């Protein structure tokens, strides 16, 4: 498989990013075929990897190749996201999932004003947890509901206004390859590419998977 380096992609001067973008994780395990990650558990694993890279909290020095790709992702993301200041916040309270060949994103990355709104909602939830002292209270239920409904509304609204390159709203596609032990067993995954691509629905983006022939 020909690997396209992240930092070799053309940079557009249109960085009108409105602080939220859905992410689709793609994995290539055999050096040839690429397939999307499905399920909450697997997507959470890669979400944390992306989060560490873009928030510059990745433990460096373990693998120089991995560090290089992380640096290129930061540069690539920052060249297109005008309010990215070395900080993203992942939002998972969305209708992600896989059904009948249709895959919806399990998480969004937020920056700027949308991220600030989510941080306020998170603080309100944290305060409600403290006030409730471990008991089920209306305050806690309201705070949870606010984070889901208001947070989701803010994320979807921000994404609907993200039209890079003058095209339809786009999602971030990230590509990972396995790191194998000498025995051939997969011990970890490494990011090797990323790109923005158009998705089908502004309010509830999805991609259609290829069926096994």
Model pLDDT, residue 163? 73
pLDDT at 17 over 70: no
DSSP conformation class of 3: P
Task: Choose between 66 and 202: higher pLDDT.
Answer: 66
pLDDT of residue 160: 87
Given a cut of 80, whether residue 190 has pLDDT beyond it is yes
Closest CA to 173 of 18, 12, 36: 36
Determine the angle formed by the axes of helices 64-80 and 40-54, rounding to 10 degrees.
Answer: 80
Query: Does 18 score more than 80 pLDDT?
Result: no
- What number is the average pLDDT over the span 50-60? 94
Q: What is the pLDDT of residue 165?
A: 62
Distance CA 158, CA 146 (A): 17
pLDDT 10s digits, 74-100: 999 988 887 899 999 999 999 899 999
CB of 151 closer than 8 Å to CB of 118? yes
Instruction: Report whether 72 contacts 7 (CB < 8 A).
Output: yes
pLDDT greater than 50 at residue 68: yes
Q: Are 97 and 207 contacting, i.e. CB atoms less than 8 angstroms apart?
A: no
pLDDT for the residue numbered 152: 95
Which of 126, 121, 198 is CA-nearest to residue 152? 121
How far is it, in rounded angstroms, from Cα 65 to Cα 90? 25
DSSP state of 54: H
Measure CA of the first residue to CA of the last residue in the chain; give whole Å.
Answer: 21
Overall pTM surpassing 0.85 (yes/no): yes
Tens digits of residue pLDDT in 114-162: 999 999 999 999 999 999 999 999 999 999 999 999 999 999 999 988 7
Nearest to 24 by CA among 207, 153, 189: 207
Query: Which residues have CB under 8 Å from 120's CB, separation 6+?
Result: none
Rg (CA), the chain: 18
For residue 65, pLDDT beyond 80: yes
Kindly state the average pLDDT of the residues 68-74.
Answer: 95
CA atoms within 13 A on the CB side of 76: 23
Is the pLDDT reported for residue 61 higher than 70?
yes
Per-chain mean pLDDT for the chain: 88
């Amino acid at each position: 498989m020909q690997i396209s380096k992240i930092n070799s992609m053309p940079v557009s001067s249109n960085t009108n990013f409105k602080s939220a973008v859905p992410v689709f994780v793609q994995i290539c395990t055999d050096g040839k075929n690429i397939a999307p990650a499905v399920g909450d558990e697997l997507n959470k694993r890669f979400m944390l990897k992306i989060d560490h890279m873009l928030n510059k909290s990745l433990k460096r020095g373990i693998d120089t190749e991995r560090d290089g790709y992380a640096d290129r992702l930061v540069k690539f993301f920052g060249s297109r996201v005008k309010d990215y200041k070395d900080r993203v916040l992942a939002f998972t309270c969305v209708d992600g999932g896989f059904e009948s060949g249709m895959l919806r994103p399990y998480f969004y990355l937020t920056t700027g004003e949308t991220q600030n709104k989510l941080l306020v909602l998170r603080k309100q939830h944290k305060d409600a947890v403290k006030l409730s002292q471990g008991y089920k209270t209306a305050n806690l239920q309201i705070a949870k509901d606010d984070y889901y409904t208001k947070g989701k509304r803010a994320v979807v609204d921000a994404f609907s206004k993200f039209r890079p390159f003058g095209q339809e709203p786009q999602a971030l596609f990230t590509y990972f390859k396995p790191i194998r032990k000498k025995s051939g067993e997969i011990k970890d995954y490494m990011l090797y590419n990323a790109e923005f691509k158009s998705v089908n629905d502004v309010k509830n983006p999805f991609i259609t998977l290829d069926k096994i022939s």
